[in-house]
A and B are shown apart, each in its own frame.
Chain A
Amino acid sequence: MILSVLSSLVLVSGLMVVRAKNPVHSVLFPILVFCDTSGLLLLLGLDFSAMIFPVVHIGAIAVSFLFVVMMFHIQIAEIHEEVLRYLPVSGIIGLIFWWEMFFILDNETIPLLPTQRNTTSLRYTVYAVKVRSWTNLETLGNLLYTYYFVWFLVPSLILLVAMIGAIVLTMHRTTHGAVKRQDVFRRNAISFRRTIMRRTTDPITR
């Protein structure tokens, strides 16, 4: 029952992202989608992923988009006159997509339509849980930090590049002169023991 409630919320919110008139609403509805996705992951028993999804998706991604939307004056009323122009070709492509998906989805292991109801649905028994029950965090760490640690370090470099790129892209022309720079060779030539400072104002007696 909880699955149906969460799934229907996801369905409605996903549709409202596209059809919302206000662009701020189309940034707020994916927050609802991410919350319900995290609830779905909790139902699956993956607690770590269910906690990481709100932290990253809502706390970082949706907040960044809210900053972008709030800073700019985005026109509220969108004219939907262009939607019907794409409808014949996109409708055919969408129908082909869904038709192919029904070939994959409607087989014995994944029964969708009532045509495959003679075979009982497979019951999945996970025997690894009965021997020693690992948490989600333990299983992820067992692979991620031992065998695939290079794969783990590469996204950190990608995030570093993204951070630097975001700063470089938004450096306005007027902030070019105001951004403080350092001269590397001068900074290396300064040494503490050879520096004599002359103080011109007395800080106590002013």
Chain B
Amino acid sequence: MMLEHILVLSAYLFSIGIYGLITSQNMVRALMCLELILNAVNINFVTFSDFFDSRQLKGNIFSIFVIAIAAAEVAIGSAIVSSIYRTRKSTRINQSTLLNK
């Protein structure tokens, strides 16, 4: 009974993350929705590995790598947002439509 509840939960978080990533004007909010997406994927992997692979937990091992990559991407994303804010003084995404303003 718990398996499908957690799977639907992770699918819902994934959808909310994609929705927020696509339709957000703020760069920080888009990066935070990306973290939501990675979290939903982690829940999915870990749940499947817990129910079907209790001896080796390969999904759990993969979720460790996803966490590491998410942390690295947060560092680089924050650095990029800082650099963009320093030159343009605003964090709206729809201002970055031209290549060289």
Contact = CB atoms under 8 A, between A and B. Distances in A.
A155 B17 CA distance: 24
B76 A169 contact: yes
Contacts of A41: 43, 46
Contacts of A75: 90-92
Interface residues of B, number: 68
Contacts of B78: 64-65, 67-68, 166
Contacts of A33: 13, 36, 39
Contact of A60 (B46, B57, B71): B71
A11 B10 CA distance: 10
A46 B59 CA distance: 12
B63 A49 contact: yes
A56 interface: yes
A86 interface: yes
A33 B40 CA distance: 10
Interface residues of A, number: 75
Interface of A is mostly: helix
A128 B54 contact: yes
Interface stretch (A135-143, A178-186, A191-199): A135-143
A18 B39 CA distance: 15
Given A17-B32, A46-B46, A83 B61 contact: no
A174 B2 CA distance: 56
B39 A56 contact: no
Contacts of A14: 12-13, 16-17, 36
7 contacts: A11-B12, A15-B16, A33-B36, A33-B39, A163-B75, A169-B76, A169-B80
